[in-house]
Amino acid sequence: MREMLISLKKDKYKLLYVEDNSTTRFFTSMFLQPYFKTIIEAKSGREALTLYMSEKPDIIITDIEMPELNGLELCREIRKDNLQLPILITTAYTSVEYLLEAVELNLVKYLSKPLDEEKISKALELCFERIELNTPSIVQLDRELFFDMFNQTLIKENRIIPISSSETLLLEILIKNSQRIVVYEEIENFIWRDTYMSKDALRSLVKKLRGHIGKELIENISKTGYKIKLYG
């Protein structure tokens, strides 16, 4: 995966990397260098905000605990100017509250420390996809209903709604193809893969997912497949 990302992306994008620990900043920047055309470093949130305004990076990776202006405060300031810029936040802590803040601030991902190659590669893949395909990482399904594509989390009225892995996959494929009908065969290959999908099994899965997100959001196209209706 890393080789593919490097070959496709390194000559295109500018990264703003924000980390107050000089050792962490040095080694992480070295690791990130092959992915980007340019990496701009900042050691505080205040410095990062100034650099953001002057450099206009394509992606931001920022620590959460920093002097002067912390990572969340930095994100709130940036969101006043740009609602879609991919932002990754690194933190030693993860919680439900952080997932809810990810929705509020339209973040791509909270990356838990210590960082590793697989975590960063997956997060960057989503950032690049978000830029190139104009696909959000957090999708609004209804006024109070959101789906976090990266963390595979359904959030309703500021609560995480537990759904099964099959329901998650169904929601994912419908959202990724929201502009068209997703035919039965595509769903079978995506969810059931090498096993057989019965019509009853699919109907049962759709019914369960509708129970969480509402019947009106998933439209049944007779003898063809399903289509999701996104908010707005």
What are the tens digits of pLDDT across the range 180-224? 999 999 999 999 988 888 989 999 999 999 999 999 999 999 999
To the nearest 10°, report the CA torsion of 222, 209, 207, 214: -80
- On whether the 163-228 domain is CATH 1.20.120.550, my answer is no
Q: For residue 97, what pLDDT is reported? A: 67
Give the range among 27-41, 67-81, 146-160, 197-211 with minimum mean pLDDT: 146-160
Q: What phi, psi does 89 have (nearest 5°)?
A: -115, 130
Cβ of 112: how many Cβ atoms within 10 Å? 14
Whether 55 has a pLDDT exceeding 60, the answer reads yes
Render 63-121 in DSSP notation, one character per residue: ESS-SSS-HHHHHHHHHTT-SS--EEEEES---HHHHHHHHHHT-SEEEESSP-HHHHH
- For the record, the structure tokens of 88 come out as 């990754």
Residues of the chain with CATH 1.10.10.10: 163-228
Q: What is the pLDDT of residues 3-49, one digit of tens each?
A: 444 445 556 899 999 999 999 999 999 989 989 999 999 999 999 99
pLDDT at 183: 96
Which residue intervals of the chain bear CATH 3.40.50.2300? Answer: 2-135
Region 2-135: CATH code: 3.40.50.2300
Q: According to the model, what pLDDT value does residue 167 have? A: 96
Closest CA to 55 of 71, 42, 44, 73: 42
| Residue 80: how many other CB atoms lie within 10 Å | 7
